[in-house]
Chain A
Amino acid sequence: EAQVTQNPRYLITVTGKKLTVTCSQNMNHEYMSWYRQDPGLGLRQIYYSMNVEVTDKGDVPEGYKVSRKEKRNFPLILESPSPNQTSLYFCASSPRSGFANTEAFFGQGTRLTVV
């Protein structure tokens, strides 16, 4: 089954403790991205990757890092999480970078709470 898998689904952590949210897709997609969703602010893009070893900032990249060492994986790293990063996070992928005529697939989400 074609899917984007995020782990963990739920995470409670403390301020400053590094964490990684994993994202994997099994569709050989070139483009992957991370979004966060907050009440009243909607979904906002954090980082994206056009292909392996090609990443760039989205609209709200502060406090996050990403890497794309393999085509299928696109982990989101919070080196020193803070309470304002408490949010619902979604990973997404789509087939061809640079094309608007494609469908994006989203993961089920990771609900992160930083205390």
Chain B
Amino acid sequence: DAKTTQPNSMESNEEEPVHLPCNHSTISGTDYIHWYRQLPSQGPEYVIHGLTSNVNNRMASLAIAEDRKSSTLILHRATLRDAAVYYCILRDREYGNKLVFGAGTILRVKS
């Protein structure tokens, strides 16, 4: 499985945008970039995914570098409820469903 690298932790102020980076320099052409988050005492929750183009949904935006070696999850206005561990995961198109979780980034949101 291709590896991702994320900062251990980040801090944000409430109502401000948050940019969570992820490096994946060994990404293959068939890997999808997925983001999940895990709120305290809950199961992981899907946030967004993409292959080559930037993606937007109601939760967040995903910006993918042109060479696909890095990506950034963007929360447009952080709320206290966004405090969680965020995982950047590569999913091989061939092997599909397996999710390989790293340590993720702990996001703290200050009021």
Interfacial residues, chain A to chain B (CB-CB below 8 A): 4, 31, 33, 35, 42-45, 48, 50, 58, 90, 92, 94, 96-109
Interface size class of B (residues with CB under 8 A): 20 to 34
CA distance A100 to B1 in the complex (A): 13
- CB of A3 to closest CB in B, whole Å: 10
A100 and B92 contacting across the interface, CB-CB below 8 Å: yes
Using CB atoms, name the residue of chain A closest to B31.
Answer: A100
Are A92 and B99 in contact, CB atoms less than 8 angstroms apart? yes
- Tell me if B43 and A100 are in contact (CB < 8 A): no
Residue in B34, B45, B96, B103 whose CB lies within 8 Å of A99? B96
**Beta-carbon nearest neighbor of B51 in chain A:** A101
Q: Which residues of B contact A (CB under 8 A)?
A: 30-32, 34, 36, 41-46, 49, 51, 91-104
Q: Considering the chains assembled together, what is the distance between the CA atoms of A96 and B96 in angstroms? A: 9
Q: How far is the CA of A18 from the CA of B34 in the complex (A)?
A: 36
**CB within 8 A of A100: which of B44, B46, B91?**
B91
Q: How distant is A28 from chain B, measured CB to nearest CB, in Å?
A: 15
Does B97 contact A97, Cβ atoms closer than 8 Å? yes
The answer to whether A90 touches B43 (Cβ under 8 A) is yes
The one of A48, A92, A97, A101 in contact with B49, judged by C-beta atoms closer than 8 angstroms, is A101
Is there an interface contact between B96 and A100, defined as CB atoms closer than 8 Å? yes
Q: In the assembled complex, how far is the CB of residue A47 from the closest CB belonging to chain B, in whole angstroms?
A: 11
B43 touches A94 (CB 8 A): no
CA distance A105 to B45 in the complex (A): 7
Give the residue among A58, A100, A105 with the most B Cβ atoms within 10 A: A100
Q: B45 touches which one: A35, A50, A106 (CB < 8 A)?
A: A106
**Of A43, A90, A100, A109, the contact of B97 (CB 8 Å cutoff):** A100
